[in-house]
Amino acid sequence: MVSQTNEQALEALIEQVLCGISREVLKEEGGSDAVALQQSDQYRTEIGHGYQLGWTSDYDREFSIDTAKFWGFLNSTQADELAKLKDQPNWERLILEHLNKRIKKHGLLKVLKNGLSINDAHLTLLYSAPYNEINPEVAENFERNVFSVTRQLYYSQTNPNLSIDMGLFINGLAIATLELKNAWTGQTTYHAIKQYREDRDPSEPLLQFGRCLVHFAVDTDEVYMTTRLAGKKTVFLPFNKGHSYGKGNPPGDVSTGGHRTAYLWQEVLTRQSLTNIIEHFAKLVGEKGNDPLNRRTLYFPRYHQLEVVRKLLAHARTQGVGHTYLIHHSAGSGKSNSITWAAYQLIE
């Protein structure tokens, strides 16, 4: 267990849970060959929560992708579709430019769900999570997704020295960023939020609206989130479980390192959970269907919304229909979205 109380220790802990290994342990085990050890595929999806380690050296700042994971995923899962494009000059650049254009127009969420079509080739960018056990092929394909986490992600095109504490990727595509603080050193989510508002330029490719689904401000006690960075106007919402009918989180236990926010990496960010959020919760809406991307709103569920919908679904699945429930939902906390998400998923 990590005994340090700085941000690096929190990074290492999250990485250890998601990947089953941290780069600190890799360094201890592999010495100077730590990177080579990771790239040898010794650490794969059967450990931790199924994430792989990512490396900032593989990150393309123009297109906001982990190139090693992106091309590795496509070559291992869709070589036949790639073969349809390889006769094109600069075919790799062609794919990246088409992908970039589609994300800028429609947002990453839609591209993840619909895939990418170029000429007569169609590239699947995310294999769906299995909703039941009827079709084992769906489950097999889902396991082919590559989830990865990159620490100290150097993301900026204008300043090569700027980094974000952690970036989460699916098949090389950036899904979430995390700024981490450790309350034991006097740094809290307040400082992480301030950092996002004042030190993170929303015009950077990674931070543009619709490009990355969610940005988390995290310390050992609380979590806040936003889907749109807008400088000092950025609005963060709490992503906490609540405690004693109030705000915040219940105390952590020894198994979580004592961190109240361990549910984020142990529960919410697992492969199954994050894919479920992308497919059944996250939504991009506008007043009109043809609204430009920057005039739309990206909804990412808050923790209490995830909890109520998932609890209702689990109870209905095991206990059947016909039950009544009393759900405490405070004013302005997203009741309508919770109802809609529950209704659609009950139908499914």
Query: Which SS3 state, helix, strand or coil, does residue 148 take?
Result: strand
Domain range list for the chain: 7-261, 303-347
User: Is the pLDDT confidence value at 261 over 50?
Assistant: yes
Q: Residue 184: which residues within 8 A CB-CB, separation 6 or more?
A: 5, 220
Six-digit token string for 149: 């986490």
pLDDT tens digits for 67-104?
999 999 999 999 999 999 999 999 999 999 999 999 99
pLDDT tens digits for 204-238?
999 999 999 999 999 999 999 999 999 999 999 99
For the entire predicted model, the pTM comes to: 0.92
Say if CB 38 and CB 54 are below 8 A apart. Answer: no
Environment class of residue 7 by beta-carbon count within 10 Å: exposed (0-12), middle (13-18) or buried (19+)?
A: middle
Rounded Cα distance, 333 and 112, in Å: 27
Mean pLDDT for 101-115 is 96
- The Cα angle at residue 213 between residues 210 and 215, in degrees rounded to 5: 115
- The sign of the torsion formed by the CA atoms of 35, 41, 46, 51 equals positive
pLDDT tens digits for 3-44?
445 788 999 999 999 999 988 888 887 655 445 555 544 555
Q: Which residues pair with 214 in a beta bridge?
A: 176
Which pLDDT value is given to residue 140? 93
Percent of residues, the chain, with pLDDT higher than 70: 91
Q: Which residues pair with 122 in a beta bridge?
A: 117
Residue 156: which pLDDT band, with cuts at 50, 70 and 90?
Answer: very high
pLDDT tens digits for 299-311?
999 999 999 999 9
Six-digit token string for 134: 């009827």
List C-alpha distances in Å: 313 to 51, 104, 274, 307: 26, 34, 17, 10
Which pLDDT value is given to residue 35? 54
